[in-house]
Structure 1
Amino acid sequence: MFGIIGIVVVFVMVFGGYVAAGGKFGIILHALPFEMTMIGGAAVGAFLIANDGAGIKQTLRDLGKVFKGPSWKPADYRDLLCLLFELIRLSRQNPVALEEHIEAPNDSEIFGRYPKVLKDHEAVDLICDTLRSMTLSYDDPLQVEEVLDKRMEAHFHHALHSSHALQTVADGLPALGIVAAVLGVIKTMAAIDQPPEVLGGLIGGALVGTFLGVFLAYGFVGPFAARVRAAVEEDSHFYKLIREVLIANLHNHPANMCIEVGRQNTPHHVRPTYGDLEEAMRNLKREAA
């Protein structure tokens, strides 16, 4: 919602101010298709050169974050804590029974109760791999924490690819606008024998290229890159929560305490309340009884 509002505000303020100052749209509308073809086409081409197929698909997919925001909502953090509670409790009660859930999470009844978490392969793999390491006696909390930190750092770096790709395009757009403007000047010089009113229109059309490059870079693509980065950073807390809970589990804290450690390390705006989480875990206990 805020992304759409922002786009509307940018257009209204820029072009509204231009009209209020007495500007005419004639030259802009005449030059716009050609300038947009040059600048937009060159930007898309440069984007394709700089990225492979997977990076292009990821960037196009992550553009939705500009309007939808982070993937993980407050209810998802509560569900994640409930999932971890069930798995930790089972690992304490029956380690053998835990194996069928972490070896085949897609067929697991426990994971199946949390479909959104199950769809995220990174979160599921992070949980299952860490719990599996415990069954293999790789349970030194410091070593496991170091492994998790490196893994999450690599995932975070990969998730930021879209933001970096968009920012690279934003950085190049002003220069591409200058390229289009220079071509417009070349066209103008070829018509130097024309009357002033014709030359004025040609020069104005050339300057539209400079305007478009700067306008698109700082009004849209740059802010898009910043918004995607903010959403990725917000979503990274979801994976950090997994680390906090599983490391607490390696320290052999009670299951409830492990979950509370995770809850308190969750950002306040997505943190479930103690009462809501306690009620959710009580319901899980009643269902298991």
Structure 2
Amino acid sequence: MIGIIGIVVVFVMVFGGYLAAGGKMGIIMKSLPFEFTMIGGAAIGAFIISNDIAGIKHTLKDIGKVFKGPKWKREDYCDLLCLLYELIRIARKSPVDLETHIESPSESSIFGRYPKIQNDKETVELICDTLRSASMNFDDPHQVEEVLEKRMDANFHHAQHSSHALQTVADGLPALGIVAAVLGVIKTMGSIDQPPEILGKLIGGALVGTFLGVFLAYGFVGPFAAKLKTVVEDESHFHALIREVLVANLHNHAINLCVEVGRQNTPGHVRPSYSELEESLKDAKQAVA
């Protein structure tokens, strides 16, 4: 919703100010389809050239995050802490029972209580792989933390692709606007024998290209890239919480302390309160009973 409001504000302030200053939309509207075809088409072509099919699909899919925001909400962080609490409790009580959950998480009754987490492949694999490694005696906290850090860095780098791709397009749009403007000037020079009022319209139409390139770059594509970067950074905290809790578990801290370490390392705007988490843990224990 906030993204839509931002788009409306950009249009109203730019064109509203232009009209308030006495500008006329006629010349812009007449030139806009042709200028947009040149600039937008060139930008799309350059985007296709600089990305593979997977990168293109990834970017198009991620554009929705500009309007939806981060995938993981406050309640999801609380659910994740409860899930990790239950898994760690089972791992310490009966490692054999844990295997049924981490080997088939799609059929696990514990994972099943948190369907949003269960349906996220990378999150489930991160949890299961780490717990499985611990059961295979790969339980040095520092080594496990290093492995998790590298894995998370790789995931984060991949997730940032959309932001980088859009920022590259934003960087090129002003130059493409100049290309369209130069073509407009070339067209104008072919009509140099026309009266001033006609030449003025032709020059004005050429300048629409420069305007459009800068407008799209700094009014839309650039902010989209910045928003995607912020969303990806926000979502990365979800996996960081998994690392904090599972590494604390390898240090053999009490289960409640492991969960509290994760809670306190959660960003403030999505961090569940201590009492809220305690209530959720009680509900989880009752569900198991």
Q: TM-score, normalised by structure 1?
A: 0.99
Alpha-carbon deviations, 1:100-126, whole Å to 9, x = none?
Answer: 111111111111111111111111111
Which secondary structure state, in structure 2, belongs to the residue aligned with residue 269 of structure 1? helix
Aligned equivalent of 1:11:
11
Alpha-carbon deviations, 1:151-209, whole Å to 9, x = none?
Answer: 00010000000000000000000000000000000100111111111111110000000
Alpha-carbon deviations, 1:117-145, whole Å to 9, x = none?
Answer: 11111111110000000111000000000
Aligned equivalent of 2:239:
239
Does structure 1 residue 108 correspond to structure 2 residue 95? Answer: no
The one-letter code matched in structure 1 to 2:285 is: K
Q: CA deviation at 1:288?
A: 2.3
Aligned mates of 1:3, 1:280 — CA distance in 2: 32
The one-letter code matched in structure 2 to 1:259 is: V
Aligned equivalent of 1:94:
94
Does structure 1 residue 278 correspond to structure 2 residue 278? Answer: yes
What does 1:1-289 align with in structure 2 at a 5 Å threshold? 1-289=1-289
Q: CA deviation at 1:42?
A: 0.5
Aligned mates of 1:153, 1:175 — CA distance in 2: 33
Aligned mates of 2:116, 2:11 — CA distance in 1: 36
Alpha-carbon deviations, 1:35-58, whole Å to 9, x = none?
Answer: 000000010111111111111111
Q: TM-score, normalised by structure 2?
A: 0.99
Q: CA deviation at 1:211?
A: 0.1
Cα RMSD after superposing both structures: 0.7
Runs of 4+ displaced beyond 3 Å: none
The one-letter code matched in structure 2 to 1:152 is: M
Aligned mates of 1:112, 1:288 — CA distance in 2: 12
Aligned mates of 1:52, 1:100 — CA distance in 2: 39
Alpha-carbon deviations, 1:13-62, whole Å to 9, x = none?
Answer: 10011001110111101000000000000101111111111111111111
172-181 or 48-57, which deviates more: 48-57
Aligned mates of 2:27, 2:282 — CA distance in 1: 68
Q: CA deviation at 1:287?
A: 2.6
Aligned mates of 1:134, 1:229 — CA distance in 2: 33
Q: CA deviation at 1:88?
A: 0.3
| Count of aligned positions | 289
Which secondary structure state, in structure 2, belongs to the residue aligned with residue 17 of structure 1? helix
Which secondary structure state, in structure 2, belongs to the residue aligned with residue 187 of structure 1? helix
The one-letter code matched in structure 2 to 1:101 is: H
Q: CA deviation at 1:277?
A: 0.8
Which secondary structure state, in structure 1, belongs to the residue aligned with residue 71 of structure 2? coil
Which secondary structure state, in structure 2, belongs to the residue aligned with residue 23 of structure 1? coil
The one-letter code matched in structure 1 to 2:191 is: A
The one-letter code matched in structure 2 to 1:93 is: K
Percent identity reads 74
Q: CA deviation at 1:6?
A: 0.6
Alpha-carbon deviations, 1:218-269, whole Å to 9, x = none?
Answer: 0000000000000000001000000000000000111111101100100111
The one-letter code matched in structure 1 to 2:126 is: L
Q: Structure 2: state its 5+ residue gaps.
A: none
Which secondary structure state, in structure 1, belongs to the residue aligned with residue 268 of structure 2? coil
Q: Structure 1: state its 5+ residue gaps.
A: none
